[in-house]
């Protein structure tokens, strides 16, 4: 994971850190690439909640002009990851405790439904692909690679959702999940919670292989609500 120090954040205004995210973005689908990079930076905490976004610094860091950056910011505002402030630029959204609890409750229900439907509709090839992702995720865990682990984790949940074969469900799932990505990422920073998440994924994969929709739905719901409890406990401790 990229190293981020307190010196990179002054008065909640982001200045470009010296890390791997500073590589210029190609011009192809530029605003989409910028949006993906910013979303990753929000998820991993390089752009923390409440941080004001310095357009000049971000343009320099990403190697783009202000036009694609502003297009990306508009799209992230639609996803409710940032908020645009009249005549004051933009800042990363800060979720209240109620926002977090409500979003996790909704997402846990969506994941449970996706798991139940996936067990009815998934192909063996898709199960094999999820198994491969699980092995890669386990390897990332063993090496302490949290960003790599989180990427594999996200792809596993996305594959289960896609196997449900319900576009309306997928659209809602993606919308809610994007608001919680940063919180889900940080929920694994504690070693004990990370170990527990791995065990939960082993059980989920077993239920999927057995096509036990009831069991997988229950495990997914419990998995998400455990993350919610972890996030809220950490928030209260920090407060």
User: Using 50, 70 and 90 to split pLDDT, how confident is the model at 28?
Assistant: low
Calculate mean pLDDT across residues 205-219.
98
Both 110 and 178 in one domain: the answer is yes
Pure H helices in 53-190: 55-62, 66-78, 97-121, 124-143, 146-163, 167-186
This prediction's pTM: 0.79
Both 181 and 107 in one domain: the answer is yes
Both 51 and 114 in one domain: the answer is no
pLDDT at residue 8 in the model: 37
> Quick check: 14 pLDDT over 70?
no
User: Using 50, 70 and 90 to split pLDDT, how confident is the model at 192?
Assistant: confident
Both 122 and 199 in one domain: the answer is yes
Domain total in the chain: 2
Is 22 inside any structural domain? yes
pLDDT at residue 189 in the model: 65
Calculate mean pLDDT across residues 173-179.
94
Both 115 and 226 in one domain: the answer is yes
Both 146 and 33 in one domain: the answer is no
Give the CATH number of the domain where residue 146 resides: 1.20.120.530
Give the CATH number of the domain where residue 86 resides: 1.10.10.10
DSSP assignments along 172-214, one per residue: HHHHHHHHHHHHHHHTTSSHHHHHHHHHHHHHHHHHHHTT-HH
Domain final position from 40, 73, 92? 92
Q: Which residues contact 108 (CB under 8 A, 6 or more apart)?
A: 220, 221, 223, 224, 225, 228
Is 1 inside any structural domain? no
Both 104 and 165 in one domain: the answer is yes
pLDDT tens digit string along 30-77?
999 999 999 999 998 899 999 999 999 999 999 999 999 999 999 999
Cα distances (angstroms) measured from residue 168 to each of 154, 164, 179, 180, 208: 19, 10, 18, 19, 22
pLDDT at residue 29 in the model: 80
Both 76 and 182 in one domain: the answer is no
> Quick check: 19 pLDDT over 80?
no
> Quick check: 132 pLDDT over 50?
yes
Both 144 and 229 in one domain: the answer is yes
Domain final position from 92, 110, 131? 92
Q: Check: CB of residue 57 under 8 Å from CB of residue 14.
A: yes
The span from the CA of 46 to the CA of 62, in Å, is 13
Both 58 and 175 in one domain: the answer is no
> Quick check: 117 pLDDT over 90?
yes
Both 166 and 202 in one domain: the answer is yes
Maximum C-alpha span of the chain: 55
Q: Vertex 24, ends 149 and 3: CA angle to 5°? A: 40
pLDDT at residue 191 in the model: 62
Residue numbers of the domain that contains 159:
97-238
pLDDT tens digit string along 1-10?
343 333 333 3
What is the overall mean pLDDT for the chain? 87
Domain final position from 92, 127, 143? 92
DSSP assignments along 82-100, one per residue: EEEETTTEEEE----HHHH
Both 231 and 148 in one domain: the answer is yes
């Amino acid at each position: 994971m990229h190293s981020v120090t307190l010196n990179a954040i002054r008065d909640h205004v982001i200045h470009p850190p010296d890390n791997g995210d500073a590589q210029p973005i190609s011009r192809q689908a530029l605003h989409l690439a910028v949006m993906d990079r910013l979303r990753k930076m929000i998820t991993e905490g390089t752009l923390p909640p409440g941080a004001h976004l310095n357009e000049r610094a971000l343009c320099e860091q990403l190697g783009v002009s202000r036009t694609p950056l502003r297009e990306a910011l508009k799209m992230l505002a639609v996803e409710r990851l940032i908020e645009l402030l009249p005549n004051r630029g933009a800042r990363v959204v800060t979720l209240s405790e109620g926002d977090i609890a409500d979003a996790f409750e909704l997402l846990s229900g969506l994941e449970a439904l996706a798991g139940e439907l996936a067990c009815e509709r998934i192909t063996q090839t898709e199960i094999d692909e999820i198994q491969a992702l699980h092995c890669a995720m386990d390897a990332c865990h063993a090496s302490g690679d949290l960003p790599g682990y989180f990427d594999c984790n996200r792809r596993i949940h996305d594959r289960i959702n896609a196997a449900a074969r319900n576009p309306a469900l997928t659209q809602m799932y993606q919308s809610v999940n994007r608001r919680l990505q940063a919180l889900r990422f940080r929920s694994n920073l504690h070693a004990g919670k990370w170990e527990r998440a791995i065990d939960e994924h082993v059980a989920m994969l077993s239920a999927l292989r057995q096509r036990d929709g009831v069991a997988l739905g229950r495990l997914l719901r419990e998995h998400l609500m455990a993350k919610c409890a972890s996030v809220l406990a950490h928030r209260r401790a920090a407060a």
